[in-house]
């Protein structure tokens, strides 16, 4: 791979100006063309926390994957990235945004960018100093042929994933990526003054973990004095480049922090005060209320000019502001939702903003987004097939930028009456539309509250009944659901959707693919099979398309991690299941084998957490409605002879509120929703569930309370962190399959490596409950990776079976 600095940019002329047109990315052509025009919109007090990076049509995704596959060069990738950054900045400038962020673009993840900036590269990647290039950067993110990737976990309670820094007392920090400065200069060359955004030093440490070999009790905050010199270097270079405002994202301020952790903020910003002198400093928080003690700490920090708050998910913060806000400071009021796609209620927001002006001063309120717009879709303009009425209720990132500026103009006495009137009409239409409400569904959901919906028999007795029926070996092997989605497969689905091929030809092609996947699993000697999900585009969208109350986009993509994007459905109304969704394909697959074939469903909590959810009723109500629809599907699968049914709850922990005081309520209705889906099946029907990346140790009792027969769970990429909960004495009686290898990396683990992982599991789990499986579905991998990895997995399971038999 060519050596390159990962922040390097294509040369940009200061006279460059921008009229944007997009075309598919190719190696030889840029997808953007630029021509300059000066914006005539007056810049009001408006700010955007951050913006999606992938591009309106996922241009960055395709450029990254082309580069990773060796089909395009470093220059090609950097050109696509530079074009995207410029289009984003110019879009905000044209909309009239005053405080435009820079350094929110990333080739993979903003926390990984910070790790690169600090030179905190784990030794296994062989970095020897100097500016960090793509080779080291992408090895940390994705692993390579010889070493695994760094751990990836959820970013707070979103579906975005960040790369977890691995730190310890021996890490030598150094300024190793000048990306923040380069991007500021890049914008400056276009005549745009931006606000460079850095992950704040305290949040960076609090989001890290002790590296392998470092004591778990090691205080990550003890490294604050080691990283601040690098932050000072970055600030000095930004100052020299002409920066006037700088934004530090400190989202951990919304969590339950102890006094020692809060003291770290005071210490860090006191240390930075002289370096920041002469700059306007914004500390940004988001995703929840800021607790009273954290608010007190934050608003007392030295050298800070403004404070950013999420006033959508953190409405209680309003009370703290009303009770006292530091005189002369700026309030960046996050009233436009960065986490959802509903149009802002402008009248309500203006009322809030005017009340805030009365507290902090008329010229001290800056209208902002609640968080980065990274978590919403890019541009509603690209949705030409969306129902007109539903479309009028929505705003994607590009529209939210316009909303922010419209609110700022109105606050400054320049209200766009027509824009506000159209918004009010859309709000009224959504409240009164008959398509939103289904009385039968509402009554069915209301009737759920009298029971906790548990299966009649305990899990131990059920597992005995299931084993008599299934006759599985010790350490049974399975996969999580999906198999590789080839280009041919995607083409077949695309052509069927576009009515270019007949239903008969489509069914024939999918049937052929299922047959291929079944035969492969039989050849590999896997015990419980899957049909590979060739008919499915996405594990949530596939179900949403068959449920009422959902709407779908063509280009509503949101970054999940790296180049991986998801297209969340929009839940706009009451949810029900008009007809069976998966029975045809699962039944067909079962006829192709004598081995058990898993029916594959997505659970209600995951459908909820991976959708853009209606905000006009409690999320729990919507979840119960989805649970009833999935319950109907589970019972139809059982009637069709499917004896193993997996109900994925990949995102159960993702919805966990950030504050402990709110977690019990969420877990109660989320776990209850899962139990509703399968409470009516026979003892001999085995219910599996699957969970993705997260720290489960603090919710293990809720996971047990789900009462599934078997749970498969991410484990390999987090250094078997999950197993520690069992070492600490938690008794788990159901079947469990902690993932034995990481499917998010192209690396193929050896039989010995997998056997070693299984042995670690056997040290803390009973032999008769342990399953052997990968971490997650195989959809994003290639068959050249999947076949040897699964072959090694099965060989490892057989090796351990023979050793266990010999020991007996």
- Cβ contacts of 175 within 8 Å, gap of 6 or more: 117, 118, 119, 230, 233, 234
Nearest-angstrom CA–CA distance, 533 and 57: 25
Name the strands in the sheet holding 330-336, side by side, starting at the edge strand that comes first in the sequence: 100-102, 194-199, 245-249, 280-284, 306-310, 330-336, 365-369
Q: Which two tokens stand for residue 351?
A: 């009322």
Q: Give, rounded to a whole angstrom, the gap between the first and last alpha carbons of the chain.
A: 51
Nearest-angstrom CA–CA distance, 404 and 784: 48
Backbone angles phi, psi at 645, to 5 degrees: -125, 120
Write down the catalytic residue from 7, 453, 531, 744. 744
Instruction: Please name the residue that has the structure tokens 């030794």.
Output: 123
Nearest-angstrom CA–CA distance, 366 and 49: 12
Sign of the dihedral through C-alpha 552, 30, 64, 103: negative
Helix axes 59-68, 74-95, angle to 10 degrees: 170
Q: Which two tokens stand for residue 795?
A: 């060989």
DSSP code per residue over 538-568:
-TTHHHHTTSEEEE--SS--EEEETTEEE--
Q: Which two tokens stand for residue 435?
A: 């398509």
For the chain, give percent helix, strand, coil, nearest 5: 45, 15, 40
Residue 801 burial (10 A CB sphere; 0-12, 13-18, 19+): middle
- Identify any residues that bridge with 559 across adjacent strands, giving them in sequence order: 565
DSSP code per residue over 605-624:
HHHHHTSEE-SSS-HHHHHH
- Identify any residues that bridge with 709 across adjacent strands, giving them in sequence order: none
Report the residue count for the chain: 808
Is there a contact between 544 and 611 (Cβ–Cβ < 8 Å)?
A: yes
Alpha helices in 191-313 (DSSP H): 201-206, 224-241, 259-276, 292-298
The secondary structure of residue 477, as a DSSP letter, is: B
Nearest-angstrom CA–CA distance, 83 and 78: 9
440 is catalytic: no
> Which residue in 102, 321, 126 sits closest to 193, CA to CA?
102
- Cβ contacts of 106 within 8 Å, gap of 6 or more: 53, 112, 113
Nearest-angstrom CA–CA distance, 588 and 363: 66
Count of CA atoms in the C-beta half-sphere (13 A) of 503: 0
DSSP 3-state assignment of 197? strand
The secondary structure of residue 709, as a DSSP letter, is: S
- If one counts every other C-beta atom within 10 angstroms of the C-beta of residue 392, the result is 17
Distances from the Cα of 563 to the Cα of 5, 106, 670, angstroms:
19, 11, 29
Q: Which two tokens stand for residue 611?
A: 């959708």
Strands, E assignment, 409-510? none
Nearest-angstrom CA–CA distance, 777 and 744: 9
Nearest-angstrom CA–CA distance, 516 and 514: 5
Is there a contact between 93 and 52 (Cβ–Cβ < 8 Å)?
A: no
Strands 564-566 and 306-310: unpaired
- Identify any residues that bridge with 284 across adjacent strands, giving them in sequence order: 249, 308
> Which residue in 427, 377, 373 sits closest to 404, CA to CA?
373
Question: With b meaning 16 or more CB within 10 Å and e meaning fewer, what string describes 422-436?
Answer: ebeebbeebeeeeeb
- Residues designated catalytic: 744
């Amino acid at each position: 791979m060519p050596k390159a600095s990962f922040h390097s940019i294509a040369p940009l002329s200061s006279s460059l100006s921008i009229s944007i047109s997009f075309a598919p990315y190719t190696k030889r052509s840029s997808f953007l063309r630029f021509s300059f025009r000066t914006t005539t919109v007056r810049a009001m007090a408006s700010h955007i926390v951050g913006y999606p990076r992938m591009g309106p049509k996922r241009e960055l995704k395709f450029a990254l994957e082309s580069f990773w596959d060796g089909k395009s060069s470093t220059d090609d990738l950097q050109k696509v990235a530079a074009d995207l950054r410029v289009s984003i900045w110019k879009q905000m400038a044209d909309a009239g945004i005053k405080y435009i962020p820079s350094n929110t673009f990333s080739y993979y993840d903003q926390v990984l960018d910070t790790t690169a900036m600090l030179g905190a590269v784990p030794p296994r990647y062989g970095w020897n100093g100097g500016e960090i290039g793509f080779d080291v950067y992408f090895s940390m993110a994705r692993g390579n042929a010889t070493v695994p990737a760094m751990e990836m976990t959820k970013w707070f309670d979103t579906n975005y994933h960040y790369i977890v820094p691995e730190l310890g007392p021996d890490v030598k920090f150094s300024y190793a990526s000048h990306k923040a400065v380069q991007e500021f200069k890049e914008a400056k060359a276009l005549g745009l003054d931006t606000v460079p955004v850095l992950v704040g030093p305290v949040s960076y440490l609090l989001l890290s973990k002790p590296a392998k070999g470092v004591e778990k009790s090691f205080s990550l905050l003890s490294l604050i004095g080691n990283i601040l010199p690098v932050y000072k270097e970055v600030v000095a270079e930004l100052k020299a480049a002409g920066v006037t405002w700088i934004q530090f994202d400190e989202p951990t301020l919304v969590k339950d922090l102890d006094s020692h952790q809060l003291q770290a903020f005071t210490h860090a910003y006191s240390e930075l005060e002289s370096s920041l002198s002469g700059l306007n400093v914004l500390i940004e928080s988001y995703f929840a209320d800021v607790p009273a003690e954290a608010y007190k700490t934050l608003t007392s920090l030295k050298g800070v000019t403004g404070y950013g708050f999420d006033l959508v998910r953190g409405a209680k913060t309003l009370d703290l502001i009303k009770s006292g806000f530091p005189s002369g400071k700026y309030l960046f009021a996050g009233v436009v939702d960065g986490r959802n796609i509903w149009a802002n209620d402008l009248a309500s927001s203006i009322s809030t903003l005017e009340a805030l002006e009365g507290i902090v001063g008329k010229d001290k309120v800056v209208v902002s987004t609640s968080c980065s717009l990274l978590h919403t879709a890019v541009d509603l303009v690209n949705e030409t097939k969306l129902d007109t009425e539903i479309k009028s209720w929505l705003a994607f990132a590009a529209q939210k930028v316009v909303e922010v500026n419209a609110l700022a103009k109105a606050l400054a006495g320049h209200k766009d009456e027509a824009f506000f009137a159209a918004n009010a009409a859309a709000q009224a239409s959504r409240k009164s539309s008959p398509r939103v409400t289904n009385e039968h569904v509402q009554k069915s959901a209301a009737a759920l509250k009298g029971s906790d919906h548990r299966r009649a028999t305990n899990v131990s007795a059920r597992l005995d009944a299931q084993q008599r029926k299934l006759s599985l070996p010790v350490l049974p092997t399975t996969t999580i659901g999906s198999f590789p989605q080839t280009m041919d497969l995607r083409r077949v689905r695309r052509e069927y959707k576009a009515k270019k091929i007949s239903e008969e030809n489509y069914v024939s092609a999918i049937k052929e693919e299922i047959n291929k996947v079944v035969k492969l699993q039989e050849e590999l000697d896997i015990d419980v099979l899957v049909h590979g999900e060739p008919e499915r585009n996405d594990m949530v969208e596939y179900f949403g398309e068959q449920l009422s109350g959902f709407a779908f986009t063509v280009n509503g993509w949101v970054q999940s991690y790296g180049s991986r994007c998801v297209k969340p459905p929009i839940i706009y109304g009451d949810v029900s299941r008009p007809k069976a969704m998966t029975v045809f394909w699962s039944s067909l697959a079962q006829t192709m084998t004598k081995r058990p074939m898993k029916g594959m469903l997505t659970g209600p909590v995951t459908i909820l957490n991976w959708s853009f959810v209606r905000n006009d009723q409690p999320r729990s109500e919507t979840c119960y409605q989805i649970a009833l629809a999935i319950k109907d599907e589970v019972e139809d699968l059982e009637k069709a002879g499917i004896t193993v049914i997996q109900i994925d709850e990949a995102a159960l922990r993702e919805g966990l509120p950030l504050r402990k005081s709110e977690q019990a309520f969420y877990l109660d209705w989320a776990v209850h929703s899962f139990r509703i889906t399968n409470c009516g099946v026979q003892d001999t029907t085995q219910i599996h569930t699957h969970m993705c990346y997260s720290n489960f140790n603090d919710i293990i009792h809720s996971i047990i309370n789900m009462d599934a027969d078997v749970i498969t769970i991410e484990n390999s990429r987090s250094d078997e962190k999950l197993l520690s909960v069992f070492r600490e004495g938690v008794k788990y009686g159901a079947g469990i399959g902690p993932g034995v290898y990481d499917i998010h990396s192209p690396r193929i683990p050896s039989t010995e490596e997998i056997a070693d992982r299984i042995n670690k599991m056997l040290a803390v789990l009973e032999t008769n409950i342990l399953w052997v499986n990968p971490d997650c579905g195989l959809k994003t991998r290639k068959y050249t990776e999947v076949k040897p990895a699964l072959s090694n997995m099965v060989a490892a399971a057989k090796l351990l079976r023979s050793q266990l038999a010999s020991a007996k």
